[in-house]
Structure 1
Amino acid sequence: MTTSTTTLPQVMTVTLRDVKRATWIAFFAWTFAVYDFVLFGNLLPAFSADMGWSAPETTNIVTWVTIGTALVAFAIGPIVDRIGRRKGIIIAVAGAAVASLLTAVAGPLIGILGGVGVVFLVLVRSIAGLGYAEQAINATYLNEMFSKVYTDPSQAKRRGLIYSLVQSGWPVGSVLAAGSVYLLFPIGGWPLAFVVGAFPAIFILIAARWLKESPQFVNRRAALALLAEGRTAEARAFAAEAGVDIEDRATPLRSVFRGESLRALIFVGIGFFLSWFGVLVFVILGTTILTAEDGKGINFSDALVILIISNATAFLGYLFHGWFGDRIGRRNAIAIGWVLSAISFAAMLLAPSGGGGGLTITLYSAGLFFLIGPFAALLFFTGESFPVHTRATGSAIINAGGQVGAILAGVGVTASLTAGSSWIDAAMIWGVVPVFIAAILILFSKNVNPKVARTD
């Protein structure tokens, strides 16, 4: 008679309906996480004015917030590899919501507690880094879910495009943040916008009840449980049937620095890190470069078109590179995109300055299209580059590296301007060159056939 001690667990599977539901929930989770993440930047001028901060004080606080964001984004990876992707999504969304609410009360605390209140703000906005980390968790989760239902080549070749729709939550969330500022700021100032920003998380937390955990995560954990009971032969048989690897049983934080994980960590990671130099220079500081006298010198009113262009370009760029990566391989699509981005931005910087800026805006739009768009392919490619054991940890480290890149790029731009360089020269050195180098380095990562879904 067979007893429960010799019964093997069932291999977990998911249906197409499960995956479609997970895709929609992941999209809205990312959209609402972006809302809070972007909202702080949108409202920073009003926030700093209320606090009476000077420009250097504001910049210093933003730097500390960025450092905290990177640390939180890094820390969540090993946690997700331990507790699961579903719980990781819930933690990220809940963390962003809590940070949004606490940001609303940070102002009064700063007024009462002074420097202690500022420390509280930095800690709160660092917790908001969970919202930024959402994209790495999504990429890990959906990579594993897609591989279980989009299995034949005709289905597998659409995975990148489907994921790019999820990643497009960034421009959607950015538009929602801008719209909320427009509607809510006149009514209740910046605190009201942060309070309202916490409510969408309730929808995600409720919807998460219908999320299924990643089959790879569940099956590997079941196989390891058999090993822990001393049932080695059964564990290996179950792992083989489920298609998961149980040979590497070190902690994910150790395993990520070995074998194929190390290669991905180096070349995908450094590429991601350097690409954020371009994001800092041409996205965050883009309007300054366009309007500065030693930049492109165009009218501020013309430069405001960038707010529309950046979001429209990001959305279209995501879809194109998601589709393009499905056809020529994500690694190749990323490299081609970033090369074209570097060329477009270099041409924009070297083009004649002043006037209405029509040529400048055209080249700037092309640069953004090829800089931002590849991130849809990059995040999915990152998930494909790691085995299930280190997937969340590796993705989180690489994702956090983007924030480190933004910090160092800001330091570099500041140093160049202080030394007497123009905005044109600084943008060329700290924006164009790193993006081009990132394109070359990504080619040294292992190529992944987009028609074959990785199941381990």
Structure 2
Amino acid sequence: MTLSQSQAGDPESQSHGATQVTVMSKRAVVSGTLGSALEYFDFTVYGLLAATLFPKLFFHDLGPSAGLLASFATFGAGFLARPLGAIVFGHLGDKYGRRPVLHLTLLLMGVSSVVIGLLPTGQGIVIASILVGLRFLQGFSLGGEATGSQLMVMEHAPSNRRGFFGSIPSSGSPISQVCANLLLVLLTSVLTEQQWESWGWRLPFLMSIAIVAVAAVVRMKLDETPVFTVVKDDVQQAGAIERDSGLGVVAAFPKTVFLLTLAWGGVLSTFYLVTVYGLSLMKSEGGMQSNTAFLILVVGSALAVPACLFGGWISDRVGRRKTILTALAGCAIGMGAFFSFMHFGSVPLVGLAVIIAMCSTQLAGGPYAAFYAEQFPTKYRFSGSAISITFSNLVFSAPAPFVATALADSFGIYAVMALTLVIIALSAFVITRLREGGGIDLEEIGDTAAGSVDQAESGAVQSPTTSDFEEMDRTIPAQSRPEQKLLTD
């Protein structure tokens, strides 16, 4: 598959296979980072309020424990909607392009966040149900936004720096953690309790409109990705109208989707147990004030930003799998320390555990966008990446605070720690079963290279055995392989 003549003369259209940084690749990074910032800012704020304030505002009649569980359940509703959004927007993104989908998801995200900030409180089941619906809409749009913005960066980025370029939007997660926690600390410090519960909590949601406006302007100036344009041109020249996408990727590559779903479980469990459930735990078990717990998360998130960027950078040199496996080891250490130190009520010890856990999740978060994108060919990449990561969020993120609360009530917090360590170990094993894609031109990842064992047995496509990947490696210049040469900036 080759670029058309018109594209071959445009240096901005060659960034996916070349090593230069173009204007369009920079715009893609800015667009993706703003989208990621909005995504994680809203989710962080909602998660923090779900653990502290929403049980009182929306679920007061249920009592303290049941109200907290109901609040965490609404938090999980956003994750329940993500797979549906991934299927719908993944299909549209693989069929019509990444760019139009990103305009739609940005609009949906902004509207749903602003309306949450306008909801009246203490109105019973009706308003609580609307809150769940808006949270569902947030998750639905995020199912396309998270992967779409990452792919826009991946497919515009130089092939030898995909890990680092992808880590920049990924750093929107810890940056948003810092901003969200600092804002809540500021608001709870300067406002009275009555002001905070009446209108202060609404401000973070209403502020989302500013991020949406800036991101929309940037995305208007962003071109469609070169690799998608090539595939679209080839399909049109062949006279084909429909191409498999959406749920078709599950039928085409079931093993790849299944393994990628499990692969991110350790990182997701660590992240949401610390940032959502951990906030409640630091208050109940650690005896800390809300402001203290917020500040611990701020410090951990701030230090996680360079960890995320370093993870992407180093993955271009030593490979994606080694980077992620190292990060998972850090997650295990951090979570073991977090639960073990909680009973001491020591702010420095708990803070150290949070820093280790947060930095480890973001060390893995740096290369994850490139790692997922490199598992699928272009015509399945949006659907495959989106469905895999949203399924993983559905299984490991959505129920994390809910399961942890119920498990701790029944068996104690060490049961939560044990379950988390098992999930981390499972993820580490699965990572070793997925291929290393660093340095590969995304155009060169064809159906046979990304196919699954399931399809090989049915005769649909060739199995992704070691020999397949060795054959692909022989088609890639040696200098592009991260394990053979340190790529220069």
Amino acid at match of 1:99: S
Cα deviation for residue 383 of structure 1 reads: 1.0
Residue 90, structure 1, aligned to residue 90, structure 2: no
Amino acid at match of 2:422: V
Amino acid at match of 2:156: M
Residue 118, structure 1, aligned to residue 107, structure 2: no
Q: Find the counterpart in structure 2 of residue 250 from structure 1.
A: 244
Residue 171, structure 1, aligned to residue 174, structure 2: yes
User: Structure 1 residues 358, 39: closer, same or farther in 2, change over 3 A?
Assistant: closer
User: Structure 1 residues 359, 194: closer, same or farther in 2, change over 3 A?
Assistant: closer
Whole-angstrom distance in 2 between the partners of 1:119 and 1:174: 27
Structure 2: which 5+ runs fail to align? 13-21, 445-489
> Given that residues 409 and 430 in structure 1 are in contact (C-alpha distance below 8 angstroms), is that contact kept between their aligned partners in structure 2?
no
Structure 1: which 5+ runs fail to align? 1-7, 231-247
Cα deviation for residue 454 of structure 1 reads: 2.1
2:119 alignment partner, one of 82, 102, 106: 106
Whole-angstrom distance in 2 between the partners of 1:356 and 1:319: 30
User: Structure 1 residues 183, 14: closer, same or farther in 2, change over 3 A?
Assistant: farther
User: Structure 1 residues 447, 61: closer, same or farther in 2, change over 3 A?
Assistant: same
Q: Give the secondary-structure state (helix, strand or coil) at the position aligned to 2:247.
A: helix
Q: Give the secondary-structure state (helix, strand or coil) at the position aligned to 1:199.
A: helix
Q: Find the counterpart in structure 2 of residue 18 from structure 1.
A: 24
Whole-angstrom distance in 1 between the partners of 2:365 and 2:350: 23
* Count of residues in correspondence between the two structures: 413
Residues 215-254 of structure 1, C-alpha deviations (whole Å, 9 max, x = no match)? 2222212221222279xxxxxxxxxxxxxxxxx9433421
5 Å-filtered alignment, 1:320-331, equals: 320-331=310-321
1:285 alignment partner, one of 273, 277, 291: 277
5 Å-filtered alignment, 1:185-334, equals: 186=191, 188-228=199-239, 249-258=243-252, 261-290=253-282, 292-293=284-285, 297=286, 299-300=288-289, 303-334=293-324
Amino acid at match of 1:253: L
Amino acid at match of 1:37: F
Whole-angstrom distance in 1 between the partners of 2:273 and 2:151: 28
Q: Find the counterpart in structure 2 of residue 74 from structure 1.
A: 86
Cα deviation for residue 391 of structure 1 reads: 0.8
5 Å-filtered alignment, 1:311-390, equals: 311-350=301-340, 353-354=343-344, 356-390=346-380
Whole-angstrom distance in 1 between the partners of 2:162 and 2:245: 29
Cα deviation for residue 99 of structure 1 reads: 0.6
TM-score w.r.t. the length of structure 2 is 0.76
Residues 255-286 of structure 1, C-alpha deviations (whole Å, 9 max, x = no match)? 3432xx43431222211134322223233222
User: Structure 1 residues 280, 352: closer, same or farther in 2, change over 3 A?
Assistant: closer
TM-score w.r.t. the length of structure 1 is 0.81
> Given that residues 181 and 298 in structure 2 are in contact (C-alpha distance below 8 angstroms), is that contact kept between their aligned partners in structure 1?
no
Cα deviation for residue 352 of structure 1 reads: 9.1
> Given that residues 227 and 442 in structure 2 are in contact (C-alpha distance below 8 angstroms), is that contact kept between their aligned partners in structure 1?
no
Amino acid at match of 1:406: S
Which runs of 4 or more aligned residues in structure 1 lie more than 6 Å from their structure 2 counterparts after TM superposition?
none
Q: Find the counterpart in structure 2 of residue 27 from structure 1.
A: 33
> Given that residues 282 and 431 in structure 1 are in contact (C-alpha distance below 8 angstroms), is that contact kept between their aligned partners in structure 2?
no
Q: Find the counterpart in structure 2 of residue 451 from structure 1.
A: 439
Whole-angstrom distance in 2 between the partners of 1:21 and 1:366: 32
Whole-angstrom distance in 1 between the partners of 2:11 and 2:103: 20
Identity %: 21
